[in-house]
Structure 1
Amino acid sequence: MSAQSPAVGRITLADRLVTRSLATDIALVAGGAAFTGLLAQVAVPLWPVPITGQTLAVLLVGSTLGALRGVLSMALYAVLGVVGVPWFSDAASGWHVIAGPTGGYIIGFIAAAGLTGWLAQRAWDRKVLGAFVSFLAGTGVTFAVGLPWLAASLGLNLEQTLQAGLYPFIIGGIIKALLAAGIIPLAWRLTSRRSR
């Protein structure tokens, strides 16, 4: 690992694909934020929380970049969205998005990327089952932060919160975790073959 690199820990998929340096870390962090912003535009409108591709992006970015770079990437996504980059769902931006009902999910993305990245650095993402468990855990972290935020911002009771912010997303969350659990281990296998 380069002494210039802020990424620490064990090898990740990104490290397998590119030489680790401060410049590549910056590019990967920015690219992860942009990828999340792009998938945020893939949405099924629901109120108060739309179904989007963001959560899939968070899982992929965290696992591919590792804990530190994953956290930095999602923090960059949140900060740039607050200051005006229109890449939250439905091309929204601004502080009101973070302060609103969906803000907790965006903050939860930071922790979710950190957890999936941490698990990836311990090789959980190399096999489908480990990757699936890792991605379910990351999804759970997003809800653990997002649901209380949703309840507080709209003054909802527990049942209302679960109906608005959890139940409609369970099947989609499982599908996204399965999709990511297919993509990342396959990418590891492909890079292993390439390096032989």
Structure 2
Amino acid sequence: MTSMLATAVRGFDPLGIARRSLATQAVLLVFGTALLALASRISVPMVPVPITLQTFALTMIGVLYGWRLGALTVLAWLGEAMIGLPVLANGAGGLAPFVGPTAGYLAAFPIVAALAGFLAEKGWAGERVVLSFSAHLLANLLCLAIGGAWLAYLIGAEKGLVLGVVPFILGAVLKSALAAAVLMAVGRRANKSLDL
């Protein structure tokens, strides 16, 4: 029995999420939240927003899990943070991050995973490296736009752009390139497995 969380036909599905049972998808969701918590711990402290591997993990989960399960996984991880588990950057948890400088980025995270997953389902992943890179970069830039807009509301447009967007653009490009390369390798490996 497949879950309604995964689409019936996906353009890129190396993990076979579309045909997994609801129980397996629930396990993958829990694993995904743990992966996001780990990615949040890999951080370069900056003020007011740290650089982390969160967006890399977000887009990868969106692509590998599909947009529905990917977004649900991110929402579950944010729920863990809201109840106080230390799963966000620098071990943060509780409600404070959801009203402070990082709130816009946190609000964008499920959208980022969904966008990356949706584009992957349309074929923007795997062997199509340029499209894969573009999907990840679009998702990262959307995150920066939403997060930067919230930060601009809090501290002003110029400061929001200088502190919340510009320092993260190069990282977005590098993470997008890494994600495209990893997904190309995953896609090739999945295709070899299917050819046997």
TM range (shorter): over 0.9
Q: Which residue of 2 aligns with 1:142?
A: 143
2:94 pairs with 1:89: no
Instruction: Please give the per-residue CA displacement for 1:112-136, whole angstroms capped at 9, x wherever unaligned.
Output: 0000000111111122111000001
User: Which residue identity does 1:85 align to in structure 2?
Assistant: L
User: Which residue identity does 1:173 align to in structure 2?
Assistant: A
Q: Which residue of 2 aligns with 1:187?
A: 186
- Decide whether aligned partners of structure 1 residues 92 and 137 sit closer, same or farther in structure 2, where only a CA change above 3 A counts: same
Tell me how far apart the structure 1 counterparts of residues 107 and 8 of structure 2 sit (CA, whole Å). Answer: 23
Q: Which residue of 1 aligns with 2:173?
A: 174
Tell me how far apart the structure 2 counterparts of residues 138 and 5 of structure 1 sit (CA, whole Å). Answer: 24
TM-score (norm 2): 0.93
What's the secondary structure of 1:13's corresponding residue? coil
Q: Which runs of 5+ in 2 are unaligned?
A: none
2:124 pairs with 1:124: yes
Q: Is the 8 A contact 1:67 1:113 kept in 2?
A: yes
Q: Is the 8 A contact 1:16 1:191 kept in 2?
A: no
What's the secondary structure of 2:16's corresponding residue? helix
Q: Which runs of 5+ in 1 are unaligned?
A: none
Paired positions, count: 193
Q: Is the 8 A contact 2:40 2:87 kept in 1?
A: yes
- Decide whether aligned partners of structure 1 residues 95 and 17 sit closer, same or farther in structure 2, where only a CA change above 3 A counts: closer
Q: Which residue of 1 aligns with 2:79?
A: 79
TM-score (norm 1): 0.93
Aligned-residue offset at 1:190: 0.5
Aligned-residue offset at 1:3: 4.7
Q: Is the 8 A contact 2:43 2:89 kept in 1?
A: yes
Tell me how far apart the structure 1 counterparts of residues 41 and 8 of structure 2 sit (CA, whole Å). Answer: 32
Structure 1 stretch displaced more, 27-36 or 46-55: 27-36
User: Which residue identity does 1:191 align to in structure 2?
Assistant: A
2:110 pairs with 1:110: yes
Instruction: Please give the per-residue CA displacement for 1:133-183, whole angstroms capped at 9, x wherever unaligned.
Output: 00011101211221121122x3x2221111010111111110000000100
